[in-house]
Amino acid sequence: MIDKRLLSKRFSEHAKTYDAYANVQKNMAKQLMDLLPKINTNHVINILEIGCGTGYLTRLLVKTFPNAAITAVDLAPGMVEVAKGMTDEERVTFLCTDIEEMAFNENYDLIISNATFQWLNDLPATLEKLFTRLTAKGSLIFSTFGIDTFQELHMSFEQAKDKLQLAIDSSPGQMFYSLEELSQVCEDAIPFSSSVPIEITKMEKFELEHFQTVREFFTSIKKIGAANSNKENYCQRPSFFRELINIYDKEYRNEPGVKATYHCLFFKIKKHDQSEDNPGIQAKYYT
Protein backbone atom coordinates (compact mmCIF):
# COMPACT_ATOMS: atom_id res chain seq x y z
CA MET A 1 0.00 0.00 0.00
CA ILE A 2 1.38 3.38 -1.06
CA ASP A 3 1.47 6.13 1.54
CA LYS A 4 0.16 8.99 -0.60
CA ARG A 5 1.19 11.74 1.83
CA LEU A 6 4.76 10.44 1.88
CA LEU A 7 4.72 10.04 -1.88
CA SER A 8 3.52 13.62 -2.36
CA LYS A 9 6.14 14.93 0.05
CA ARG A 10 9.03 13.12 -1.65
CA PHE A 11 8.07 14.14 -5.17
CA SER A 12 7.55 17.75 -4.08
CA GLU A 13 10.92 17.90 -2.37
CA HIS A 14 12.70 16.67 -5.49
CA ALA A 15 10.67 18.44 -8.17
CA LYS A 16 13.56 20.75 -9.06
CA THR A 17 16.00 17.87 -9.63
CA TYR A 18 13.53 15.51 -11.32
CA ASP A 19 14.22 16.41 -14.95
CA ALA A 20 17.97 15.99 -14.54
CA TYR A 21 17.55 12.34 -13.55
CA ALA A 22 14.30 11.21 -15.24
CA ASN A 23 15.84 10.10 -18.54
CA VAL A 24 13.87 6.87 -18.79
CA GLN A 25 10.62 8.63 -17.95
CA LYS A 26 11.26 11.14 -20.74
CA ASN A 27 11.84 8.30 -23.21
CA MET A 28 8.59 6.72 -22.08
CA ALA A 29 6.76 9.99 -22.68
CA LYS A 30 8.07 10.12 -26.24
CA GLN A 31 6.95 6.53 -26.78
CA LEU A 32 3.46 7.45 -25.56
CA MET A 33 3.30 10.22 -28.15
CA ASP A 34 3.99 7.62 -30.83
CA LEU A 35 0.96 5.66 -29.61
CA LEU A 36 -1.47 8.55 -29.95
CA PRO A 37 -4.54 7.81 -32.06
CA LYS A 38 -5.03 9.68 -35.30
CA ILE A 39 -6.61 12.91 -34.17
CA ASN A 40 -7.31 15.90 -36.37
CA THR A 41 -5.27 18.58 -34.62
CA ASN A 42 -7.63 21.26 -35.96
CA HIS A 43 -10.44 19.94 -33.77
CA VAL A 44 -10.96 21.26 -30.28
CA ILE A 45 -10.46 18.26 -28.02
CA ASN A 46 -10.39 17.68 -24.30
CA ILE A 47 -7.32 15.97 -22.79
CA LEU A 48 -6.69 14.73 -19.25
CA GLU A 49 -3.11 14.03 -18.22
CA ILE A 50 -2.56 12.05 -15.03
CA GLY A 51 0.68 12.45 -13.11
CA CYS A 52 1.99 15.41 -15.07
CA GLY A 53 5.07 15.82 -12.86
CA THR A 54 7.19 18.70 -14.10
CA GLY A 55 5.14 18.92 -17.30
CA TYR A 56 7.45 17.21 -19.80
CA LEU A 57 4.62 15.26 -21.44
CA THR A 58 2.28 18.23 -20.98
CA ARG A 59 4.52 20.36 -23.17
CA LEU A 60 4.64 17.65 -25.84
CA LEU A 61 0.83 17.56 -25.85
CA VAL A 62 0.63 21.35 -26.07
CA LYS A 63 2.88 21.31 -29.13
CA THR A 64 1.04 18.43 -30.82
CA PHE A 65 -2.51 19.64 -30.17
CA PRO A 66 -2.66 23.42 -30.62
CA ASN A 67 -6.43 23.52 -30.06
CA ALA A 68 -6.68 21.13 -27.13
CA ALA A 69 -7.90 22.00 -23.66
CA ILE A 70 -5.57 20.11 -21.31
CA THR A 71 -6.16 19.30 -17.66
CA ALA A 72 -2.88 18.18 -16.06
CA VAL A 73 -3.13 16.51 -12.66
CA ASP A 74 -0.44 15.61 -10.14
CA LEU A 75 -0.44 14.55 -6.50
CA ALA A 76 2.63 16.60 -5.53
CA PRO A 77 2.25 20.38 -5.18
CA GLY A 78 5.97 20.88 -5.79
CA MET A 79 5.71 19.15 -9.16
CA VAL A 80 2.67 21.20 -10.14
CA GLU A 81 4.46 24.44 -9.33
CA VAL A 82 7.44 23.50 -11.49
CA ALA A 83 5.14 22.44 -14.34
CA LYS A 84 3.22 25.71 -14.16
CA GLY A 85 6.45 27.67 -14.34
CA MET A 86 7.48 25.86 -17.51
CA THR A 87 4.13 25.87 -19.32
CA ASP A 88 2.82 29.28 -20.33
CA GLU A 89 -0.49 28.24 -21.86
CA GLU A 90 -3.90 29.45 -20.73
CA ARG A 91 -5.54 26.35 -22.20
CA VAL A 92 -3.66 24.13 -19.72
CA THR A 93 -5.25 23.78 -16.30
CA PHE A 94 -3.08 22.29 -13.56
CA LEU A 95 -4.70 20.52 -10.63
CA CYS A 96 -2.98 19.23 -7.50
CA THR A 97 -5.03 16.23 -6.47
CA ASP A 98 -5.05 12.44 -6.18
CA ILE A 99 -6.60 10.92 -9.30
CA GLU A 100 -7.97 8.09 -7.14
CA GLU A 101 -9.96 10.64 -5.14
CA MET A 102 -10.76 13.08 -7.95
CA ALA A 103 -14.40 13.67 -8.89
CA PHE A 104 -15.08 14.12 -12.61
CA ASN A 105 -17.60 16.49 -14.15
CA GLU A 106 -16.63 16.21 -17.80
CA ASN A 107 -15.52 13.68 -20.40
CA TYR A 108 -12.28 13.48 -22.36
CA ASP A 109 -11.25 12.61 -25.89
CA LEU A 110 -7.84 11.52 -24.64
CA ILE A 111 -6.71 10.42 -21.18
CA ILE A 112 -2.97 9.94 -20.97
CA SER A 113 -0.52 9.09 -18.19
CA ASN A 114 3.22 8.53 -18.13
CA ALA A 115 5.03 6.46 -15.48
CA THR A 116 2.36 7.08 -12.85
CA PHE A 117 -0.01 4.14 -12.51
CA GLN A 118 2.50 2.16 -10.41
CA TRP A 119 1.72 4.64 -7.60
CA LEU A 120 -2.00 3.84 -7.50
CA ASN A 121 -3.44 1.77 -4.68
CA ASP A 122 -6.49 0.56 -6.63
CA LEU A 123 -5.57 0.44 -10.29
CA PRO A 124 -8.61 -1.59 -11.45
CA ALA A 125 -11.09 0.86 -9.92
CA THR A 126 -9.18 3.82 -11.37
CA LEU A 127 -9.08 2.27 -14.85
CA GLU A 128 -12.81 1.64 -14.74
CA LYS A 129 -13.48 5.22 -13.60
CA LEU A 130 -11.26 6.70 -16.30
CA PHE A 131 -12.76 4.58 -19.05
CA THR A 132 -16.25 5.79 -18.23
CA ARG A 133 -15.06 9.37 -18.75
CA LEU A 134 -13.95 8.80 -22.35
CA THR A 135 -15.96 10.27 -25.18
CA ALA A 136 -17.51 8.01 -27.81
CA LYS A 137 -14.24 7.60 -29.71
CA GLY A 138 -11.87 8.38 -26.88
CA SER A 139 -8.60 6.70 -25.93
CA LEU A 140 -6.85 5.90 -22.66
CA ILE A 141 -3.09 5.69 -23.15
CA PHE A 142 -0.63 5.05 -20.37
CA SER A 143 2.80 3.77 -19.46
CA THR A 144 3.96 2.25 -16.22
CA PHE A 145 6.76 0.06 -14.92
CA GLY A 146 6.71 -3.72 -15.20
CA ILE A 147 7.74 -6.62 -13.01
CA ASP A 148 11.36 -6.69 -14.17
CA THR A 149 12.04 -3.07 -13.17
CA PHE A 150 15.11 -2.86 -10.91
CA GLN A 151 15.53 -6.63 -11.11
CA GLU A 152 19.17 -6.26 -10.10
CA LEU A 153 18.18 -4.50 -6.88
CA HIS A 154 15.54 -7.07 -6.03
CA MET A 155 17.83 -10.02 -6.68
CA SER A 156 20.61 -8.42 -4.64
CA PHE A 157 18.09 -7.81 -1.86
CA GLU A 158 17.11 -11.50 -1.82
CA GLN A 159 20.72 -12.68 -1.91
CA ALA A 160 21.71 -10.39 0.95
CA LYS A 161 18.72 -11.55 2.97
CA ASP A 162 19.66 -15.20 2.43
CA LYS A 163 23.34 -14.66 3.18
CA LEU A 164 22.61 -12.91 6.48
CA GLN A 165 19.77 -15.35 7.23
CA LEU A 166 17.26 -12.56 7.84
CA ALA A 167 13.54 -13.21 7.92
CA ILE A 168 12.32 -10.24 5.85
CA ASP A 169 8.92 -10.40 4.18
CA SER A 170 9.02 -6.94 2.61
CA SER A 171 10.86 -5.74 -0.49
CA PRO A 172 12.76 -2.51 -1.35
CA GLY A 173 9.83 -1.16 -3.34
CA GLN A 174 6.33 -1.83 -4.60
CA MET A 175 5.46 -4.86 -6.71
CA PHE A 176 4.82 -4.45 -10.43
CA TYR A 177 2.75 -6.32 -13.01
CA SER A 178 3.97 -8.33 -15.97
CA LEU A 179 2.64 -7.27 -19.37
CA GLU A 180 0.09 -10.09 -19.41
CA GLU A 181 -0.97 -9.51 -15.81
CA LEU A 182 -1.62 -5.85 -16.49
CA SER A 183 -3.45 -6.72 -19.69
CA GLN A 184 -5.76 -8.94 -17.67
CA VAL A 185 -6.28 -6.17 -15.11
CA CYS A 186 -7.34 -3.86 -17.94
CA GLU A 187 -9.71 -6.41 -19.45
CA ASP A 188 -11.32 -7.16 -16.09
CA ALA A 189 -11.65 -3.50 -15.11
CA ILE A 190 -13.11 -2.11 -18.31
CA PRO A 191 -16.87 -2.56 -18.81
CA PHE A 192 -16.88 -4.21 -22.22
CA SER A 193 -20.01 -3.87 -24.33
CA SER A 194 -20.95 -5.36 -27.66
CA SER A 195 -22.23 -1.93 -28.69
CA VAL A 196 -18.87 -0.27 -27.95
CA PRO A 197 -16.00 -2.38 -29.34
CA ILE A 198 -12.69 -1.90 -27.56
CA GLU A 199 -9.20 -2.08 -29.01
CA ILE A 200 -6.30 -2.76 -26.64
CA THR A 201 -2.76 -2.25 -27.87
CA LYS A 202 0.06 -3.28 -25.55
CA MET A 203 3.83 -3.40 -25.74
CA GLU A 204 6.85 -3.62 -23.48
CA LYS A 205 10.34 -2.23 -23.70
CA PHE A 206 13.47 -2.60 -21.60
CA GLU A 207 15.78 0.30 -20.87
CA LEU A 208 19.13 0.14 -19.11
CA GLU A 209 20.90 2.83 -17.16
CA HIS A 210 24.47 2.54 -15.88
CA PHE A 211 26.00 4.18 -12.84
CA GLN A 212 29.52 4.43 -11.52
CA THR A 213 28.44 3.06 -8.14
CA VAL A 214 25.39 1.46 -6.56
CA ARG A 215 25.03 4.47 -4.30
CA GLU A 216 24.87 6.68 -7.38
CA PHE A 217 21.95 4.55 -8.56
CA PHE A 218 20.21 5.01 -5.20
CA THR A 219 20.83 8.75 -5.45
CA SER A 220 19.20 8.88 -8.88
CA ILE A 221 16.06 7.26 -7.47
CA LYS A 222 16.00 9.70 -4.59
CA LYS A 223 16.50 12.71 -6.86
CA ILE A 224 13.28 11.99 -8.75
CA GLY A 225 11.35 11.35 -5.54
CA ALA A 226 10.78 7.68 -6.35
CA ALA A 227 12.19 6.18 -3.14
CA ASN A 228 10.16 3.54 -1.32
CA SER A 229 6.82 5.06 -0.29
CA ASN A 230 5.15 1.90 0.98
CA LYS A 231 3.35 2.08 4.31
CA GLU A 232 4.99 -1.21 5.27
CA ASN A 233 8.47 -1.02 6.76
CA TYR A 234 11.42 -2.90 5.35
CA CYS A 235 14.81 -3.82 6.75
CA GLN A 236 17.09 -0.80 7.18
CA ARG A 237 19.99 -2.37 9.06
CA PRO A 238 23.29 -0.79 7.94
CA SER A 239 24.93 -4.23 7.81
CA PHE A 240 22.18 -5.49 5.51
CA PHE A 241 22.54 -2.61 3.08
CA ARG A 242 26.31 -2.90 3.03
CA GLU A 243 25.89 -6.53 2.01
CA LEU A 244 23.22 -5.63 -0.57
CA ILE A 245 25.49 -3.00 -2.12
CA ASN A 246 28.44 -5.41 -2.19
CA ILE A 247 26.37 -8.05 -3.96
CA TYR A 248 24.88 -5.57 -6.41
CA ASP A 249 28.30 -4.17 -7.29
CA LYS A 250 29.82 -7.62 -7.75
CA GLU A 251 27.02 -9.30 -9.68
CA TYR A 252 25.73 -6.47 -11.87
CA ARG A 253 28.74 -4.43 -12.89
CA ASN A 254 29.95 -4.44 -16.46
CA GLU A 255 32.16 -2.12 -18.49
CA PRO A 256 29.78 0.91 -18.50
CA GLY A 257 29.14 0.54 -14.75
CA VAL A 258 26.55 -1.04 -12.48
CA LYS A 259 23.31 -1.53 -14.39
CA ALA A 260 19.68 -0.85 -13.54
CA THR A 261 16.88 -2.28 -15.65
CA TYR A 262 13.65 -0.45 -16.34
CA HIS A 263 10.80 -2.62 -17.63
CA CYS A 264 8.45 -0.22 -19.41
CA LEU A 265 4.86 -1.20 -20.22
CA PHE A 266 2.66 0.72 -22.65
CA PHE A 267 -1.09 0.41 -23.17
CA LYS A 268 -3.58 2.05 -25.52
CA ILE A 269 -7.25 1.35 -24.83
CA LYS A 270 -9.45 2.82 -27.52
CA LYS A 271 -13.17 2.91 -28.12
CA HIS A 272 -13.64 1.92 -31.73
CA ASP A 273 -16.37 3.29 -33.96
CA GLN A 274 -16.86 0.58 -36.58
CA SER A 275 -18.71 2.97 -38.88
CA GLU A 276 -15.78 5.36 -39.27
CA ASP A 277 -12.23 4.72 -40.40
CA ASN A 278 -11.10 8.27 -41.11
CA PRO A 279 -8.80 10.04 -38.65
CA GLY A 280 -10.03 12.59 -36.20
CA ILE A 281 -12.04 12.81 -33.05
CA GLN A 282 -15.22 14.86 -33.20
CA ALA A 283 -15.10 16.84 -30.00
CA LYS A 284 -17.98 16.60 -27.56
CA TYR A 285 -18.46 19.20 -24.87
CA TYR A 286 -19.64 18.55 -21.35
CA THR A 287 -20.33 21.08 -18.62
Quick: pLDDT tens for 150-167: 999 999 999 999 998 887
> Does residue 195 belong to any structural domain of this protein?
yes
> Does residue 96 belong to any structural domain of this protein?
yes
- Please state the φ and ψ torsions of residue 224, each to the nearest 5 degrees: -105, 5
Model confidence, pTM: 0.89
> Tell me, what CATH number does 26's domain have?
3.40.50.150
Residue range of the domain that includes 132:
4-147+176-206+263-271
Report pLDDT for 279. 36
> Does residue 231 belong to any structural domain of this protein?
no
Report pLDDT for 285. 21
> Does residue 253 belong to any structural domain of this protein?
no
> 266, 143 in Cβ contact below 8 A?
yes
Report pLDDT for 31. 97
* Number of domains, the chain: 1
Report pLDDT for 236. 66
How are beta strands 257-271 and 134-145 bridged, if at all? antiparallel
Question: Cα separation of 29 and 3, whole Å?
Answer: 25
> Does residue 162 belong to any structural domain of this protein?
no
Report pLDDT for 41. 75
> Does residue 118 belong to any structural domain of this protein?
yes
Low-confidence ranges of the chain (pLDDT < 70): 169-171, 192-195, 228-236, 273-287
Q: Which one, of 2, 14, 7, lies nearest residue 81 by Cα? A: 14
> Does residue 255 belong to any structural domain of this protein?
no
> Does residue 153 belong to any structural domain of this protein?
no
Report pLDDT for 276. 46
Report pLDDT for 89. 92
Report pLDDT for 230. 64
CA dihedral 264, 269, 270, 274 (to 10 degrees): 110
